[in-house]
Amino acid sequence: DGDLTEYIRISAMTHFINNRRNVTYVVFDEANNIGTLERSVEYTDYVSPKIYMKKPFRFTASEEIEQAIREGLSAEDCLDGDLSSQIRTIWDDSYYSSLTGDYPVTLQVSNSAGDVCQVEIEMTVTEANDREENGKEYPLLSDYIVYTKVNQMTDPESLIIGIEKNGTEYLYEEDEEFLAGTREAIRIDSKVDYANPGVYTVEYSYTGENASTAVTKLFVVVEEE
């Protein structure tokens, strides 16, 4: 049959191992004779899928929490693109939606190559009709999950963009006069160990005029080199 190059197809691809995967190629001639070839392919610019969070992982007990979570979450992958709809939320056994408190939650997504992104974070459930809670002024961030490598420090202060009070967001770039003095009053408590891979918490706290202290949590994922 001569040159069969244009009929070559990929019949199988293994999952990634250190940015490499085995690819099996196949081709048939007109008599259905088969030719196969397997080779190792390295992805030199590959990065694992990432989960991002644009809203704080804080909800009221009266909300439909599983639905509310989806509004702030997204996932991107260099192979498959947008994986947001495939994010899994794994709840801790202690979670009960009508009780306020902090609960461990695992966010997970995987791409077509079998590479998994898993981020263990903490969800805060508050009381919707609590007077003190409604008066709290929470530091507002541009992101609530950030990624870095071992020994590469992040700048938590650069993520502060405003204050959120009772569901309303006030941004420094739009309400600078109204928010005067609040940015300098936000305290940052970082528990990140940049020397070791893992998921760590940075707490931003602000005490408003009503003397109630509000705490916003950032989750920092430290990855291996």
Q: pTM score, two decimals?
A: 0.84
CA dist., res. 144 & res. 125, Å (int):
16
Residue by residue, pLDDT tens for the chain (225 residues) are: 999 999 999 999 998 888 889 999 999 999 999 999 999 999 899 889 999 999 999 888 777 777 778 888 999 999 999 999 999 998 876 666 567 888 899 999 999 988 999 999 999 888 878 888 888 999 999 999 999 999 999 999 999 999 998 888 999 998 888 888 899 999 999 999 999 999 999 999 999 877 789 999 999 999 998
Burial label for 121, CB within 10 Å (0-12, 13-18, 19+), is buried
CA dist., res. 197 & res. 176, Å (int):
37
The structure tokens listed for 155 are: 């700048």
The structure tokens listed for 97 are: 């939606």
**What type of residue sits at position 182?**
T
